[in-house]
Amino acid sequence: MSDSNTLKKENSEKNVLTLSLQKMATGSFLILIGTILGIFFSFLQRTLIARFFTQSEYGIFSIAIVIFNFIVVFSILGLNEGIARQIAYFRGKNEKKTITEMIISSFSIAMISSILFSVLIFLLSEKISILFFNEPGLSEPLKIIAVSIPFYIFIHLITSVFRGYNNVKPKIYFLDLSIRVIFLLLILGVILLNIPFLLVIYSYFLSIIITFIISVFYSLKVSSTISMKGIRLVSPSTIKTLMTFSIPLLLTTLLNSIMVWTDTLMLGYFDNSQIVGLYNGATNLAHFIPIGLTSVAFIFVPIASELYSKHRNHEIGRTYQITAKWIFLLTIPIFFILFLFPETVTKTVYGAEYVASSLSLQILCIGFMFHTSLGLNGMTLIVFGKTNFLLVSSLIGVCANIVLNIFLIPLLGIVGAALASLLSYSMVNLLRSLYLYKISKIHPFTRGYIKPILIAGILMGFIYYLTTIIAIKIWMLPLLLLLFLFLFFMIVLVTSSLDKDDVSLLYIIEKKSGLKLTKVITIVEKYIH
């Protein structure tokens, strides 16, 4: 009888894990595609503005967008992350009334906050333009951007609500595609009609308004989950619960942004704009490394939160380990190119003058790869409700980054800034991983994960040795990458680094993506232990 119960328990855990992996694979694949398309459209937008308008106008646009994004972070108060987790958590407990109260609370608070910030920026636009930036031409764009803030916040919250229901499509539809595609088309219209620059700012505003209207109609058509029945007034306790969870996330986001800005600002203080440009070239490339991690993180939080509400910590741990391994496998080709051939990459992308940022790029790559290798530690702490620790760890990281920059930039320039980022990011992620292990025993380092890490390190060392013998040209990079990937995955198979859960994930990817992976799965199944 006990054997029968054990077998039922194992089957139940396997079914839950398979379902979680299915949701993760589907959502992550869609988010990755959306993210790549979004980056591409943003690149086209900025290229067109930089090419067809003056440097001053492009600078005004850039400053206006930075201010806009900064105010959005403040206005949303961390509710975009908080509401997604809370919806998924209370879905697991089947508390529909609480979910509805949470949604109403989040929209009410965010709308009030965003309108207040919008009015504030509108009224202070002239002072901000002159006192802070000495740019009178920035005033009108700021007023236009300010009016769009509540609409943009609304779109963000709608995507977060759907995220809580494991639906990632609205994020792709609205944030990745709709706003960016509409804006791109409007920019093309402004250029073709030779309309003054201010119409570019109005185009950005209009793209948000159109997307807002689309998102409202989409929500009314698709969502049947929110019922107002029995809801008269949101209770103070609901608001308190939501804000207690979300405010630390707001502060964490701000601190993470400060970490990103610190290197640039302190390089500008200690050196000059040319050095800042070199460093930003390296950081832009290095930020490609965590794209896979970010894509998985978006869908991981609601799925894991639902499991957590049902006390399925074991399944959360296995999902964490499997996703960490596959994120590493997907990221290693990007790391391979950027880390081993930084001179070739920077020269090809930016020009010969950016080769001086090669060492900084390598250092940043190590930092981001270390972060990626540890898996979704921060997101899992959100799932477990440990937002205060996230805040504390981010505060420690910011302080460390500032101190390290003060000491290292005067000594080493952009290399010092990169080292400061490497050490501070690594410290933050190590703290989060250790704390996560302490409270849940969750970690990514199974035998099946450690072996690919070691294999990748040895192979990269071997190929790096080859590069010291022959001069590398840009056309050689694809060949070397193919050689690396072939050897890497063959050794991964032979050393039995993949298991049955990995095969299950491949089946899911084949089913959801339409890719024909039958031969690959057959080969993998021969080597699993």
Contact call for residues 91 and 165 (beta carbons, < 8 A): yes
| Of 499 and 404, the one with more pLDDT | 404
pLDDT score of 231: 47
**Least confident piece of the model among 281-295, 463-477, 510-524:** 510-524
The count of other CB atoms within 10 Å of the CB of residue 3 is: 7
- Interval 148-169 mean pLDDT: 89
Rounded to the nearest integer, the mean pLDDT of the chain is: 82
The mean per-residue pLDDT over the stretch 109-120 comes to: 91
- Determine the pLDDT at residue 21: 66
Joined together, the tokens standing for residue 175 give 């944030």
Q: Where are the alpha helices (H) located in 341-446, listed in sequence order?
A: 342-349, 358-373, 377-383, 387-412, 414-440
More confident residue, 126 or 235: 126
Residue 356: the pLDDT is 86
The continuous run of DSSP H or E covering 518 comes out as helix 518-527
pLDDT at residue 266 in the model:
77
Instruction: Please report the pLDDT score of residue 7 as a whole number.
Output: 45
Instruction: Decide which of 440 and 45 is more confident.
Output: 440
Q: For 405-429, what is each residue's pLDDT tens digit?
A: 999 988 888 899 899 999 999 999 9
Band the pLDDT of 228: cuts 50, 70, 90.
Answer: very low
Q: Region 5-19: what's the mean pLDDT?
A: 56
Distances from the Cα of 385 to the Cα of 50, 93, 252, 310, 352, angstroms: 43, 16, 14, 14, 48
Residue corresponding to tokens 């690149």: 43
pLDDT of residue 1: 46
pLDDT for 323? 86
Cβ atoms 37, 174 nearer than 8 A: no
The model's pLDDT over 350-369, given as tens digits with 9 standing for 90+, comes to 778 778 888 999 999 999 99
Pull the structure tokens for residue 483: 């050689």
**pLDDT at 520 exceeding the cut of 80:** no
Q: What is the pLDDT of residue 29?
A: 74
For residue 296, pLDDT beyond 90 = no
Burial class of 448 by CB neighbour count within 10 A (0 to 12, 13 to 18, 19+): buried
Under the banding of pLDDT at 50, 70 and 90, the label for residue 439 is very high
Give per-residue pLDDT as tens, 465-504: 877 777 767 777 788 888 888 888 888 888 877 777 777 7
Position 274 confidence tier, pLDDT thresholds 50, 70, 90: low
Average pLDDT over residues 522-529: 73
DSSP characters for 241-287?
Answer: HHHHHHHHHHHHHHHHHHHHHHHHHHHHHHS-HHHHHHHHHHHHHHT
Q: Report, as an integer, the average pLDDT of 326-334.
A: 88
Give dist(CA 109, CA 29) in Å, integer: 32
What is the tens place of the pLDDT at every residue in 249-271?
888 888 887 777 777 667 766 76
* Cβ atoms of 527 and 506 closer than 8 Å: no
Q: Which whole number is the average pLDDT over 312-334?
A: 86
In three-state secondary structure terms, 165 is: coil
Looking at residue 392, its pLDDT comes to: 92
Instruction: Pick 319 or 213 by higher pLDDT.
Output: 213
- 396 — pLDDT class (breaks 50, 70, 90): very high
Q: Please write down the HEC assignment for all residues of 440-463.
A: HCCCCCCHHHHHHHHHHHHHHHHH
Q: What is the domain partition of the chain in residue ranges?
A: 20-234, 246-445
Q: What is the pLDDT of residue 501?
A: 72
Q: Tell whether the model's pLDDT for residue 180 goes beyond 50.
A: yes
Say if CB 13 and CB 293 are below 8 A apart. no
| Contact predicate 242/106, CB 8 Å | yes
Between 53 and 455, the more confident residue is 455
In the prediction, which pLDDT does 361 show?
Answer: 92
Q: How far apart (Å, rounded) are the C-alpha atoms in residues 31 and 513? A: 13
Q: What is the pTM of this model?
A: 0.78
Higher pLDDT pick, 241 / 486: 486
434, pLDDT greater than 90: yes
